[in-house]
């Protein structure tokens, strides 16, 4: 099963992707985690990504597409995966479609985790206290990430709707209930 998880920052993508990956025995690939790790380790990638991330902007498409291409080429994704945080722009979605096609592969579903703006802002400010992510602690950076999501990421919802693989799941309420809803949405035909 090859899945993409979509949703605004704070929608619970990361938390739920981890849970579902474990339950369905899929690889969980979070571009946010991967980039934060690169920044922490001071790698070339980390150096390039840092200023964008601190401002709540997206890192350039070619940078992130290159990383995903490497993952696809390495065969790591061969047994099924959940992409969390990628794609985030229409060019990224197109690049993903093309690289998968080249490998005779494709996505089974794109899952949109639906939550309201108010809920997102509440969740990110409490996450800031728990996880200590600088991009969560600064209200103006949080607002910018939401803006960036609306302008750059929301258009890929239409992209996947047109490909007839989009499924929306209500992302509000009890964490276990959301996991259950996701699992149902993913496993039903
Ligand atoms: P969130 O969804 O909570 O905003 P993520 O952990 O998914 O956080 O991403 C954190 C940051 O990493 C983003 O704000 C962005 O700067 C960068 N990033 C992650 N994935 C991508 C991507 N696919 N394209 C561009 N930038 C990305």
pLDDT value, residue 100: 96
Measured CA to CA, the distance from residue 5 to residue 84 in angstroms comes to: 5
pTM over 0.85: yes
Which residue among 36, 58, 117, 171 is best mutated to probe the pocket of ligand 1, counting the most ligand atoms within 8 A of its Cβ? 58
Element containing residue 187 per DSSP (H, E): helix 175-187
- Angstrom distances, CA of residue 166 to CA of 111, 159, 174, 186: 6, 9, 23, 11
- Cβ(13)–Cβ(169) below 8 Å: no
Is beta strand 27-30 parallel, antiparallel or unpaired with respect to 81-84? parallel
At residue 147's C-alpha, the angle toward residues 129 and 171, to 5°, is: 60
Measured CA to CA, the distance from residue 94 to residue 174 in angstroms comes to: 34
Measured CA to CA, the distance from residue 126 to residue 109 in angstroms comes to: 30
Ligand 1, residues at Cβ distance < 6 Å: 9-10, 31-32, 35, 52-53, 56-59, 64, 85-86, 88, 92, 145
Task: Measure 32 CA to ligand 1 centroid, in angstroms.
Answer: 5
Instruction: Find, among 99, 155, 87, 113, the residue nearest to 7 by Cα.
Output: 113
Residue holding tokens 């609306």?
A: 150
Measured CA to CA, the distance from residue 146 to residue 142 in angstroms comes to: 6
**Residue 67, both tokens:** 């990383």
Kindly list the catalytic residues: 13, 88, 127, 133, 145
Query: Which structural domains are found in the chain, ordered by start?
Result: 2-184 (3.40.50.300)
Q: What is the pLDDT along the chain (189 residues), one digit of tens a residue?
A: 999 999 999 999 999 999 999 999 999 999 999 999 999 999 999 999 999 999 999 999 999 999 999 999 999 999 999 999 999 999 999 999 999 999 999 999 999 999 998 899 889 888 888 888 888 988 889 889 999 999 999 999 999 999 999 999 999 999 999 999 999 999 987
């Amino acid at each position: 099963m090859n899945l993409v998880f979509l949703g605004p920052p704070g929608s619970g993508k990361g938390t739920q992707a981890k849970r579902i990956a474990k339950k369905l025995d899929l690889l969980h690939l979070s571009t946010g985690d991967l980039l934060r790790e690169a920044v922490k380790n001071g790698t070339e990638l980390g150096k390039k990504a840092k200023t964008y991330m601190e401002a709540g902007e997206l890192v350039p498409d070619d940078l992130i597409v290159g990383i995903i291409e490497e993952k696809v080429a390495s065969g790591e994704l061969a047994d099924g995966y959940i992409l969390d945080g990628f794609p985030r722009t229409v060019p990224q979605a197109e690049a993903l479609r093309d690289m998968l096609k080249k490998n005779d592969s494709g996505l089974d579903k794109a899952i949109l985790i639906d939550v309201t703006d108010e809920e997102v802002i509440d969740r990110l400010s409490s996450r800031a206290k728990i996880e200590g992510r600088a991009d969560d602690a600064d209200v103006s950076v949080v607002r910018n990430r939401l803006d960036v999501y609306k302008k750059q990421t929301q258009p890929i919802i239409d992209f996947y709707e047109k490909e007839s693989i989009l499924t929306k799941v209500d992302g509000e309420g009890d964490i276990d209930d959301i996991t259950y809803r996701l699992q149902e949405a993913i496993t039903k035909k």
